[in-house]
Amino acid sequence: MSARIGYTTGVFDMFHVGHLNVLRGARSRCDHLIVGVTTDELAEQRKGRAPVVPLLERMEIVQNVRYVDDVVTQTTMDKRLAWENLKFDVMFVGDDWRGTPAWDAIEAEFGALGVGVEYLPYTRHTSSSALRRSVFAE
């Protein structure tokens, strides 16, 4: 039987326990975990601001988390393109995205390819946005 390859993505700015929870949860459900770290440009385009921590530093942090096997740069939000390049078996995402039109569409597209989408519990008490507000309010 071949190894189950998992994939998840994120900006991973101002790394916190919520990020760790996602990576731990994802790795517990696959044999090999690939993590896509979003580029500074894509993060700024999507969120309207650049990350506090630069891409290469965020990638180094994520690569050194024991649950992570490989780190790649996420340059596009196109999950199908990521699958074409990486051939993962399952995509992991926070459960705050469950039931959204975008993720319903991804589930349908991946289902046709035999790729699963699994939702992991979102850590509600912390986020990079909350950390950013706290740090920059002082």
* Average pLDDT of the residues in 44-65: 94
Q: What is the pLDDT of residue 77?
A: 95
Question: pLDDT class for 124, splitting at 50, 70, 90?
Answer: low
pTM: 0.89
Question: pLDDT class for 2, splitting at 50, 70, 90?
Answer: confident
Cβ 91 vs Cβ 5: under 8 Å: no
- Which of 84-98, 104-118, 119-133 shows the lowest mean pLDDT across its residues? 119-133
Kindly state the percentage of the chain with pLDDT values over 70: 89
> How many H-runs (helices) and E-runs (strands) does the chain carry?
6, 5
* Average pLDDT of the residues in 89-102: 95
Report which DSSP code applies to 57: H
Question: pLDDT class for 135, splitting at 50, 70, 90?
Answer: low
CATH node for 5-137: 3.40.50.620
* Average pLDDT of the residues in 75-95: 97
> H-helix or E-strand containing 137?
helix 128-137
**CA distances from residue 54 to 21, 49, 80, 82, 113 in whole angstroms, order as listed:** 22, 12, 26, 22, 34
Look at residue 134 and tell me whether its pLDDT is greater than 60: no
> H-helix or E-strand containing 133?
helix 128-137
Structure-token match 């180094």, residue found: 60
